[in-house]
């Protein structure tokens, strides 16, 4: 049975509780990566629209009810929003599938319900935000208040439009902040749908504004705005650097950055071989390799290397690529032409650098941005395909002898987002987990995320954590209040 395509209902900017045209009247096209055809024309936000949205957000923060409600009241509204998301999971999954080429059935069953649960997790935390009573110094009594940081600017990428949206919005809402979110220009559709549901749930006007538009215009305006109190960003390391500069050059707003990665998966001789092959393959094929923690460098110990390589290639050849609405399909198209061409050019570079192309390497079909899962062996650590984030289904497979060698190789990257370790030896697992400089270590598993598991980078993968109570604290600040208990000369 073919799935009915969604009707795109929301194409305008969502500012102060209303869907509005952009001030310039300009629009941009969002493209279906399966067909390379236009899905819809979206109002294009620019600096002037960001100004209006920030103003609405400022008023909602300075004078509105949201930061002044009790945590329980905020939680009740957030819970309602989460329920509405569950009720509309099918529709939202369709939007993410046509906009980003994501697997429809997976989104409907897993990603959208998980997004709703992320909102529930932070709703549960909204009434547990409190400061501390401090040990009085002499005749003084002191305590801390945890206050919402203010107006937040969120900038998100296109690879997980739903998860990214809630990962940023939910903790900041729970904290009592107001916000302007700029979705990626490739994937604005579900963000606008979430805004519509937020209004239905009772999130007051001006608290959550969604302004689609491009990075150098709308995004940059948000980062350099004097009335934005914090920017939370997920995207490339290059743009992360620009955002930090814009924040520093304007009002010194704090930023948190979740950036690129080149994560290692290290497979020791004693690992469960079939599981290691499965995870190594999924490490680059899941979500078409469009995931910051893709296990794009796979290091295999020499004792099992040959068998590992042979079975990995067999596995890649059984992978089903095609329309993400088909339930048998395991990989849809890359998000857009730019990414598609970038990945293919990295593959060509890998061949030119002298790595061995074991499987894949080509476009699939002649319409849509489909690319075969691609595995290179004989990769040297200084090759571009072993150093740069490709953000596609491309693996660099390498061999190692000793644990010392594995540690050095795993850390031989400017990034530090995640790492996987496959071994049955507890000592090996412990030594590796402590030696790899990365924000998440998966032992005998991969891609395990949880609302309560903090997630973020070391090194050039950024700083600040999403998920967990760490994320809530990014949107709070501490105020110390001191008062005399009895007459004090001070």
Output 234 or 451, the one with its CB closest to ligand ADP: 234
- Which residues are catalytically annotated? 258
216 binds ligand ADP (CB under 6 A): yes
Candidates 243, 282, 395, 460: give the one binding ligand ADP (CB under 6 A).
Answer: 243
239 binds ligand ADP (CB under 6 A): yes
242 binds ligand ADP (CB under 6 A): yes
Output 151 or 239, the one with its CB closest to ligand ADP: 239
Considering only CA atoms, give the Rg of the chain: 24
235 binds ligand ADP (CB under 6 A): yes
User: Rounded to the nearest whole angstrom, what is the least distance from the CB of residue 5 to ligand ADP in the complex?
Assistant: 25
Could you give the CA distance from residue 24 to residue 27 in angstroms, rounded to a whole number? Answer: 9
Output 239 or 276, the one with its CB closest to ligand ADP: 239
**In the block, residue with structure tokens 């009707």:** 7
| Candidate segments 1-9, 53-61, 211-219, 394-402, binder of ligand ADP by CB under 6 A | 211-219
180 binds ligand ADP (CB under 6 A): no
Output 162 or 377, the one with its CB closest to ligand ADP: 162
Q: Where are the beta strands (DSSP E) in 294-378?
A: 297-301, 356-359, 374-377
User: Rounded to the nearest whole angstrom, what is the least distance from the CB of residue 228 to ligand ADP in the complex?
Assistant: 12
422 binds ligand ADP (CB under 6 A): no
| Candidate segments 42-50, 210-218, 352-360, 457-465, binder of ligand ADP by CB under 6 A | 210-218
The residue count of the chain comes to 490
Could you tell me the CA-to-CA distances from 397 to 94, 228, 381, 391 in Å, in that order? 35, 44, 10, 16
Cα 286 from chain centre: 14
Q: Other CB atoms closer than 10 Å to residue 34's CB: what's the count?
A: 19
Output 66 or 165, the one with its CB closest to ligand ADP: 165
Q: What token pair was written down for 33?
A: 């990566």
Question: Helices (DSSP H) in 176-289: which residue ranges?
Answer: 189-201, 220-223, 237-249, 273-285
Could you give the CA distance from residue 119 to residue 445 in angstroms, rounded to a whole number? Answer: 25
219 binds ligand ADP (CB under 6 A): yes
228 binds ligand ADP (CB under 6 A): no
Q: Please say whether the beta carbons of 89 and 113 come within 8 A.
A: yes
| Candidate segments 25-33, 197-205, 234-242, 407-415, binder of ligand ADP by CB under 6 A | 234-242
Q: Which of 134, 127, 132, 156 is nearest to 145 (CA)?
A: 132
Question: Helices (DSSP H) in 89-219: which residue ranges?
Answer: 89-100, 104-106, 112-125, 161-175, 189-201
185 binds ligand ADP (CB under 6 A): yes
Residues that bind ligand ADP (CB under 6 A): 155-157, 182, 184-185, 214-216, 219-220, 223, 235-236, 239, 242-243
């Amino acid at each position: 049975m073919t799935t009915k395509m969604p009707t795109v209902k929301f194409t305008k900017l969502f500012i102060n509780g209303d869907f509005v045209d952009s001030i310039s009247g300009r629009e941009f096209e969002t493209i279906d990566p399966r067909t390379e055809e236009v899905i819809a024309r979206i109002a294009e936000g620019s600096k002037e629209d960001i100004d209006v949205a920030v103003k609405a957000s400022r008023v909602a923060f300075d004078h509105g009810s949201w930061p002044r409600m009790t945590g329980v009241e905020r939680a009740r509204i957030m819970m309602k929003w989460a329920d509405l998301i569950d009720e509309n999971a099918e529709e939202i999954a369709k939007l993410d599938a046509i906009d980003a080429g994501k697997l429809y059935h997976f989104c409907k069953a897993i990603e959208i319900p998980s997004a709703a649960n992320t909102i529930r997790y932070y709703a549960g935390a909204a009434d547990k935000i409190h400061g501390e009573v401090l040990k009085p110094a002499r005749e003084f009594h002191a305590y801390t208040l945890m206050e919402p940081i203010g107006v937040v600017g969120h900038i998100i990428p296109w690879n997980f439009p739903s998860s990214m949206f809630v990962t940023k919005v939910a903790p900041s809402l729970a904290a009592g902040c107001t916000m302007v979110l700029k979705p990626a220009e490739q994937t604005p559709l579900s963000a606008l749908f979430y805004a519509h549901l937020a209004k239905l749930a009772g999130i007051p006007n001006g608290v959550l504004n969604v302004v689609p538009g491009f990075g150098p215009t709308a995004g940059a305006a948000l980062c350099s705005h004097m009335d934005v109190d914090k920017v939370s960003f997920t995207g490339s390391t290059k743009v992360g650097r620009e955002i930090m500069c814009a924040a520093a050059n304007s009002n010194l707003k704090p930023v948190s950055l979740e950036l690129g990665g080149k994560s290692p998966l290290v497979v020791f001789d004693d690992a469960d071989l079939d599981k290691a092959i499965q995870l190594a393959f999924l490490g680059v094929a899941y979500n078409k390799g469009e995931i910051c923690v893709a296990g794009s460098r796979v290091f295999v110990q020499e004792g099992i290397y040959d068998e590992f390589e042979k079975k990995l290639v067999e596995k890649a050849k059984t992978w089903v690529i095609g329309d993400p609405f088909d339930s048998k399909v395991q990989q849809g198209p890359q998000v857009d032409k730019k990414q598609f061409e970038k990945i293919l050019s990295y593959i060509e570079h890998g061949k030119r650098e002298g790595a061995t192309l074991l499987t894949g390497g080509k476009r699939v079909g002649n319409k849509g941005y489909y690319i075969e899962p691609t595995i290179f062996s004989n990769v040297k650590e200084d090759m571009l395909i072993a150093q740069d984030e490709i953000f596609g289904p491309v693996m660099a497979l390498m061999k190692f002898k000793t644990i010392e060698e594995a540690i050095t190789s795993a850390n031989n990257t400017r990034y530090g987002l995640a790492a996987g370790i496959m071994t049955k030896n507890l000592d090996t697992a412990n030594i590796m987990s402590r030696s790899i400089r990365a924000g998440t270590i998966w032992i005998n598993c991969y891609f395990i995320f949880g609302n309560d598991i903090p997630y973020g980078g070391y090194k050039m993968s950024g700083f600040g954590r999403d998920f967990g109570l760490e994320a809530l604290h990014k949107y709070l600040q501490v105020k110390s209040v001191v008062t005399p208990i009895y007459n004090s000369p001070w």
